[in-house]
Amino acid sequence: MLDPYWRIPLVPEPNQPNALSATFNAPDQHGVFTLSLDYRRAGYSFLSHKITVSVAPPRHDQFDRFITGAAPFYLGAGSVVLATISFITIWSST
Is residue 47, in this structure, part of any structural domain at all? yes
List pLDDT tens digits, range 10-54. Answer: 889 988 988 888 888 877 777 888 888 888 888 888 889 899 988
Q: How many CB atoms lie within 10 A of CB 74?
A: 12
Is residue 77, in this structure, part of any structural domain at all? yes
Mean pLDDT for 82-93 is 94
- Residues ≥6 apart with Cβ < 8 Å to 27: 3, 33, 55
Which residue range is the domain that position 32 belongs to?
Answer: 11-58+67-93
Is residue 86, in this structure, part of any structural domain at all? yes
Closest alpha carbon to 46 in 37, 54, 59: 37
Is residue 29, in this structure, part of any structural domain at all? yes
CA–CA distance, 67 with 57 (Å, rounded to integer): 17
* Number of domains into which the chain is organized: 1
**Whether the predicted pLDDT of 90 surpasses 80:** yes
55 within 8 A of 30, measured Cβ to Cβ: yes
pTM recorded for the entire structure: 0.46
Is residue 5, in this structure, part of any structural domain at all? no
The proportion of the chain whose per-residue pLDDT surpasses 90, expressed as a percent, equals 24
